[in-house]
Amino acid sequence: WFVAAVLERQFTGRVVISGLPEALPAPIALGPRCDFSSDPKPKCAIMIFLGEMPSAENDVTLVGDARASELSYGHLLNSTAPAHPITGCALAGYLAFAALAHAVGIPPFHEEWREGLLRLPFEGQTEPLPSFSVLGTGQVGQAFLALAFFLAAGKELSVHLLDKDDFEDYNQRTQILLSEHIESWCGQAKVDYVAGICRNWGWTVSPEQKEIAWGWRHSPQGQAFAFLGFDNMDARRIAVESGFPWLFECGVGTDFCRPHVTWHSLPSKRELAKELFKEQGRRAKPPSAFANALAESPADCGRVIFENIEAAAPSLGLVAVSATWVEVMRFLAGDHEPYSGTAFVW
């Protein structure tokens, strides 16, 4: 579901799904451009193989596998264990960004750093997920909730949602819980619409449309932690002082030629938040040879602007929230040490 849901947002063509006769339970239904095919090897310009090797090469062929807490790129894993939702989500994000990069010609960022296998440092949860809050229900907030859908595995869950904004039409291209039926959500309060989706999953939801400011305090409702999906540093710092026992946060870069994700796990400590969430001014970077080549082409041919807005590809959000949920699992298992992580995706 994660692979198809992201591909239909990053591309305008059909997404053909082979190997499944119909859709499995998912956070929302896939869009009308996602087709389930009985052909075991449909011919497409970009072919993504999950858990199996291709029998023949296509224009672009990508291979990945996920088993338990391991994921691989370019080869299969020697294991029969089922994929964990976290590794499945992380692999989906990587493969979907790789598909985008191949399609538009984004060169690998420091390809020599790439690892063909990753083992994520967590154990599968044995207890149901506790109540939590999501502050900011945009791109990463929705991805965080979508992964929680699979982690909850049909069990009841209580969540608190907070956001100040209403949806705008361009949000659909980057936010994974918004359908192609724009009229059903455009102009609605983000928290109310997303709360409705979560209630369809059988969850208990407390939505709050609010802009937080210095001095805002969260009314204790039994949440074990909060996830911060804000797109600015000031809101992150305010949330750290709002009374949550522990917080998780992640961020995605908007430079496709340097696809960067970060994630943090931290207690409610002001000094730590000030150190982690500093406002970063824009720094002029020397253009790469690739960027120079695009600039010299007629009419900037080949230069990528994603929906003409400053936003990361939704695939990067999947990678970032997967890493964040690893830290949530570690926290729930008793590891209460702060953590700061960073990775490049391509």
Average pLDDT in the chain: 87
Mean pLDDT of 118-134: 90
Give the pair of three-digit tokens for residue 258.
């340097």
Mean pLDDT of 76-95: 95
Q: Please check the confidence at residue 309 and state whether its pLDDT lies above 50.
A: no
| Per-residue confidence (pLDDT) for residue 289, from 0 to 100 | 60
Q: What is the pLDDT of residues 190-215, one digit of tens each?
A: 999 999 999 999 999 999 999 999 98
d(CA 134, CA 85): 19
Give the pair of three-digit tokens for residue 272.
């730590």
Cα-flanking dihedrals φ and ψ of residue 127, to 5°? -110, 155
| Per-residue confidence (pLDDT) for residue 45, from 0 to 100 | 86
Q: What is the pTM of this model?
A: 0.88
Q: Please check the confidence at residue 314 and state whether its pLDDT lies above 90.
A: no
Mean pLDDT of 55-77: 89
Radius of gyration of the chain (CA): 20
The distance of Cα 258 from the centroid of its chain, to the nearest Å, equals 17
Closest by Cα among 226, 230, 219, 237 to 331:
226
DSSP for 311-342, please give it. ---HHHHHHHHHHHHHHHHHHHTT----EEEE
Angle at 172 between CA 181 and CA 104, to 5 degrees: 125
Q: Which residues lie below 8 Å from residue 177, measured CB to CB, with a gap of 6+?
A: 27, 28, 142, 145, 146, 194, 197
End-to-end CA distance of the chain: 21
State what percent of residues in the chain have pLDDT above 70: 89
Mean pLDDT of 306-329: 80
CB 321 within 8 A of CB 147: yes
Q: What is the pLDDT of residues 242-292, one digit of tens each?
A: 889 999 999 998 787 888 899 999 998 878 777 777 766 544 455 556 555
Q: Could you give the C-alpha distances from 65 to 72, 87, 123, 300, in angstroms and in order?
A: 5, 9, 18, 37
| Per-residue confidence (pLDDT) for residue 302, from 0 to 100 | 42
Q: What is the pLDDT of residues 281-300, one digit of tens each?
A: 544 455 556 555 545 544 44
Q: pLDDT band at 90, cuts 50/70/90?
A: very high
